[in-house]
Amino acid sequence: MTDKKTYLWFKTMEWFAKYWGCHQMAERSFSFGNYQFPLCARCTGILLGEIIGIVCAFFTVSHWQSIFLLIPMAVDGLTQLYEKRESNNILRLITGSLGGYSITTFLAFIIKLI
């Protein structure tokens, strides 16, 4: 049974690395049991935010509010990229969720215009 779980875990990790483009760094990912999540904390947040955005697409925020929700993720990611500070997984999850929700609601806004 463990071999099937391990095989499924490896295939999931490969799929998300290939199609999502996540770096999958262990120290920036959540774990459950002995298994690392296939996405880092920020990408997990983005995916969750996108799912929430799809479910709530009919209750979208304005396009300006949607753009504003991207700012926390950009600040968190860029300050970490330029080594101004070190983020943590909870903050990455939260800012990623805001960013994912923002992207989805902005796309819903554009689709409604068409």
Whether residue 5 is predicted with pLDDT greater than 90 in this model: the reply is no
pLDDT (tens digit, 9 = 90+) per residue, 47-92? 999 999 888 876 667 888 888 999 999 999 999 999 899 999 999 9
- For residue 58, give the nearest of 13, 112, 113, 10 by alpha carbon: 112
CA–CA distance, 74 with 21 (Å, rounded to integer): 18
Whether residue 43 is predicted with pLDDT greater than 90 in this model: the reply is yes
pTM of the complete model? 0.82
Q: Sketch the domain layout of the chain as residue ranges.
A: 2-113
Q: Taking the CA of residue 38 as centre, how many other CA atoms within 13 Å lie in the half-sphere pointing to its CB?
A: 16
